[in-house]
Amino acid sequence: MPHLESARLKLIPLTYELVKAAVTEPAETGRLLGATVAPGWPGPDYAEVLATKLMAWEQYGAPEDWGGLVLHKGDNRIIGDAGFHGAADPTGTVEIGYSIAPDYRRQGYASEIARALVDWALARPEVRRVIARIEPENLPSIRVAERLGMRLVATHEMLEWELCR
């Protein structure tokens, strides 16, 4: 995963050191980057993902990771995380995920970093489709999917949105 940059944000690819710091002491993650960490980051779901990544990294070595930390350039602060749930599957599909710390929500940051990720992914020859699985009550994430130009393709326990190349 390369460093991606938008007008207000940078996506910093994960390294073993960053993941380990985030699992053990999130503020250390900021110190490693010469930044601070927004209150509430990482959220409980991503903290669980990071712990799983750390275990896998320690058992199997460096994974091909398609995600990173969202750094607010103006504040020099880690405000979230974003990426894909792994590399493209055999059909060329990747699933996007993102999370923004509470103090930074409702300011367009999720849409901004998601746009950078989608553009990067769809420029890769192995990616044909980006999906997002969103809980029906998660209206802010639904708005992000709509802003990205995704269309709703399935409604089950989770709503599935897609954007094809």
Q: Does some domain include residue 162?
A: no
Number of domains in the chain: 1
Q: Does some domain include residue 55?
A: yes
Q: Does some domain include residue 144?
A: no
pLDDT of residue 62: 73
Instruction: Report whether the peptide linkage leading into residue 42 is cis, meaning its omega lies within 30 degrees of zero.
Output: yes
pLDDT of residue 139: 96
Q: Does some domain include residue 76?
A: yes
Q: Is the pLDDT of residue 2 over 80?
A: no
Q: Does some domain include residue 140?
A: no
Q: For the domain that residue 95 is a member of, what is the CATH number?
A: 3.40.630.30
Q: Does some domain include residue 61?
A: yes
Q: Does some domain include residue 151?
A: no
pTM above threshold 0.75: yes
pLDDT band, very low/low/confident/very high, at 86 (cuts 50, 70, 90): confident
Q: Does some domain include residue 152?
A: no
How far apart, in whole angstroms, are the C-alpha atoms of residue 45 and residue 48? 5
Residue 33's domain comprises 4-127
